[in-house]
Amino acid sequence: MSGESARRGRAPDPAVDEAIRAAVLDLIAERGADMTFDEVAARAGVGRATVFRRFPTKRELILSAMASQSTGLIRPPATGTLRGDLEALAALVMELFGEPARSGLLRTVLAESARDPAFAELTRSLLDRRTEIFAEVLGRHVATGELPPETDPLIAADLLSGMLALRLMSRRDLPGPEERARIIDVLVTGLTGAQVPPPRPARTRGPDTRPPEAAPPPDRWQDRGMERTLHLTGDPGADALLTEEPLALMIGMLLDQQIAMEVAFAGPKKIADRLGTLDAADIAARDPEELAEAFAQTPAVHRFPSSMAKRVQALCAALAADYGGRAEAVWTEGAPDGRELLRRLKALPGYGDQKARIFIALLGKQMGVHPAGWRQAAGPYGEEDSRRSIADVVDDQTLTEVRDFKKAAKAAAKKKG
């Protein structure tokens, strides 16, 4: 049998399919459905032909990625009370679709459903599964007499999922814990006929307004266990900024795509020098064209300066709105464990699953940030003595080893494809 015949007869490798779908999810999380086969292939570490053989159209790519994320992800809660079940269900749904990859996929599917029967069928299957879950949850409370026999699970499902869809399509924030509780108050009242509870005091998150004596000390890393000096760029000034400024490290991680690692992490120093500051609120408020010009100055911050300026500005806007402009609050506020830190990072603009896990490994391996379960959250990037990512670069030798690993992994993926 010829080599060509053998290749045609070989069964597809599920790991390659998974890598392709993960690449689609990451790209959608970063910029929506605007992607090419070449970009998907590069992100997945396979050849363009490998992607095309499995998914001949972008439509099939997105449908496959959505299907992989929509089966069996939500289980009906059983807390013992109607309010508890609805609160747990709402929290699970908001957490699930609060992830940029899944929210981006859902927006794409909802938009395409109006004109594409395949997307419409996928939407119907999601809605049917949603109604089944509500029927199971509410049925238990009909059986106990807490709800009347005529309770319609479809109405309750539509109320919650309709609000979710509207928020996602308009790119508004999903409800946080307190707003969710108020929504559940209204839903329980409608289902049971009970009196609506009084409004709960509003809690807003704004800039850090703590008194000076309660604010973090100037050395923002040391009081959080930050121990080491980074050696990621070969530029002492750039490395010093990364070591001292959490926002710089987070921006460097965001820039680390489609350019050399050391160039990406040298980017925050260029930004700081050109803007005169590296402050999340300041960057978020900048004129986008002015920011893009700063990114494009020679030497450019990134090979795609305009696109990356938008992503950095979106990241800073999210940090300013949700964490008072303090990047380190992502891993310090509320003492999150590894799983929660992963969720927080993936909720930030530009941070897909892979990037979030690498950043957790970088914090844990080089900066002493060790929330419970951080290695598990980092996945293979958290393995001790590995040479997989920027998290393992401590000198020129390890930089070379990480590069060699990436080249070998890409070559192996192409061979499998």
Residue 137 Cα to chain centre, angstroms: 29
Query: Is pLDDT of 165 > 70?
Result: yes
Q: What's the chain's average pLDDT? A: 80
Residue 354 Cα to chain centre, angstroms: 9
Q: What DSSP state is assigned to residue 414?
A: H
Tokens 């070591």 sit at which residue?
Answer: 243
Q: Where is average pLDDT lowest: 228-237, 319-328, 405-414?
A: 405-414
Q: State how far the Cα of 172 lies from the Cα of 143, in Å rounded to an integer.
A: 37
Neighbour count for residue 94 (Cβ, 10 Å)? 18
The answer to whether domain 82-192 has CATH 1.10.357.10 is: yes
Q: State how far the Cα of 166 lies from the Cα of 14, in Å rounded to an integer.
A: 35
Q: State how far the Cα of 332 lies from the Cα of 404, in Å rounded to an integer.
A: 34
Q: State how far the Cα of 271 lies from the Cα of 41, in Å rounded to an integer.
A: 30
Q: Are 361 and 381 in contact (CB under 8 A)?
A: yes
Class of domain 11-69: mainly alpha
Level-2 CATH architecture, domain 222-416: Orthogonal Bundle (1.10)
pLDDT digits (tens, 9 = 90+) for 77-127: 778 788 888 888 877 777 766 666 566 667 777 777 777 787 787 778 777
Q: State how far the Cα of 375 lies from the Cα of 262, in Å rounded to an integer.
A: 24
pLDDT digits (tens, 9 = 90+) for 369-414: 999 999 999 999 999 889 999 999 999 899 999 988 888 877 776 6
Q: State how far the Cα of 416 lies from the Cα of 404, in Å rounded to an integer.
A: 18
**Closest C-alpha among 225, 32, 335 to residue 344:** 335
Parse the chain into domains and list their residue ranges.
Answer: 11-69, 82-192, 222-416
**Is the N-terminal amide bond of 299 cis, ω within 30° of 0?**
yes
Instruction: Measure the CA dihedral 414/16/101/374, to 10°.
Output: -90
